Structure 1
Amino acid sequence: MGVELEALFTNALGLQAPWVVENVKLNTTDRRIDFEIGCQGAGLACPACGAAAQPIHDRLLRSWRHLDFFQFETWLHCEVPRIACSDCGKTTQMLVPWARPGSGFTAAFEAFALALCRDLPVSQAAALLRCSDKQLWRRIEFYVEQARAQERFTDVRTVGIDETSVRRGQNYITVVHDLDAKRLLFATEGR
């Protein structure tokens, strides 16, 4: 494929220097597009301390699921550089601008998946996205934990605690509500 195509997809993915699309592999049989992204730079800033012009120690291949292009399942692949810093002495992997560390999904894919999960059962959202519901549950748990960590309950004055049966038998949940704001503060299985 021509240089123009890689430049077009570099712009479509919103990549900025030093990141560029180096190769595009289109598989019409499997309805899949694979983008190989490269980091073009010899001396990069240390992700740990910010020291400029540090040498690349090595590169580790990583892959992320992205939003579909043209109804084709899309994957980003990149040999992500690890920087050997002479200032702080650490060897640290660079952060990629399109995904959070360890995610396996791009930020755009995660955002779309979470928006779907707000309005659909997780199993239906997973079927639409062609991924497992377990992968979506992991993302939901990650962002719920982050949101819960930012919660402040200093303005709560009146709480209500209730135990209710989930279904017939001895399966109960306990819920704690802020009665003034009419919102759920906490829920857990059991009494």
Structure 2
Amino acid sequence: MAERELFERALGLQWPWRVERTEFDAAERRLDLHLDFEPGGTFDCPSCGRGGCKAHDASPKRWRHLDFFQHRAYLHARVPRVRCPACGVKQAKVPWSEPGSGFTLWFEALVVALAREMPVRAVARLVGEHDTRLWRLLKRRVGRARAEADFSAVRAVALDETACRRGHDYITLFADLDRSRLLYATPGRDASVVGLFREDL
């Protein structure tokens, strides 16, 4: 199996996407995978989902991917804008990343899994990224998860406060007693936090 085909299978690429070339730098401990779409390839409209949209133009983008053994890996691709008869010209979605993210879906999944077990600063050191980039990733993921969460069956709630740093910085946590899950967390411990929770719920 050719090297490019191996990477195409590993990334789950489907037509019209392909691996155009690879660059491996042992001294820099870095692997760069350059992807492109086949000439004449068509895409789905990112707004309405209509298929068969042709590329209007394309702009280069880069995403951090999972490490390849001990080497940082990056994907590079020209991301097309497509012309949809109904929606006009829109930037196509790529299958390996969400719009506006500088990370691949696999890298994001790793960061989310690690952030469940350790502080974000430790995750940043481990994966070699700045923690502010990871916080943006996590905020987007948590926001989406909370928007999709269904709290309509919540009947019994417990609240507790805990110190979040040395000194007197407190957060208040609200939990669903029946399902043992966190519903809401907010800085502070006075009566106003109950109102914030009520509004959020």
TM-score range, shorter chain: 0.7 to 0.9
Q: Does structure 1 retain, via aligned residues, the 8 Å contact 2:16–2:42?
A: no
- Secondary structure in 1 matching 2:21: strand
- The answer (yes or no) to whether the contact 1:99–1:107 under 8 Å persists in 2 is yes
Q: TM-score, normalised by structure 2?
A: 0.82
Q: Which moved more, 1:63-72 or 1:177-186?
A: 177-186
CA distance, structure 2, for counterparts of residue 148 and residue 78 of structure 1: 31
Give the corresponding residue for 2:120.
122
C-alpha spacing 1:163/1:73, structure 2 compared with 1 (3 Å)? closer
Offset of residue 24 of structure 1: 0.6
Kept after mapping to 2: 8 A contact 1:159/1:179: yes
Partner letter of residue 4 of structure 1? Answer: A
Count, aligned residues: 188
Q: Which residue of 2 aligns with 1:40?
A: 38
TM-score normalised by the chain length of structure 1: 0.86
For the pair 1:73 / 2:68, whether they are aligned, the reply is no
For 1:92, which of 90, 98, 101 is the aligned residue?
90
**CA-atom RMSD, angstroms?**
2.3
Q: Is the 8 A contact 1:46 1:92 kept in 2?
A: no
Query: 2:79 corresponds to which letter in structure 1?
Result: V
User: What stretches of structure 1 of length at least 5 have no aligned partner?
Assistant: none
How far does the alpha carbon of each residue in 1:1-47 deviate from its partner, in whole angstroms, 9 at most, with x for none?
Answer: xx932222222222111110001111111111111101114151441
Structure 2 unpaired stretches of 5+: 191-201
CA–CA distance in structure 2, aligned partners of residues 168 and 54 of structure 1:
56
Change (3 A) 1:167 1:95: closer
Against the structure 1 CA distance between its residues 52 and 43, is the aligned structure 2 distance closer, same or farther, given a 3 Å change threshold?
farther
Deviation at 1:181, TM superposition (A): 3.7
Q: Indicate conservation of the 8 Å contact 2:16/2:41, yes or no.
A: no
Percent identity over the alignment is 44
Give the equivalent residue in structure 1 for 2:153. Answer: 155
* Most deviating of 41-50 and 127-136: 41-50
Q: Give the structure 1 partner of residue 18 of structure 2.
A: 20
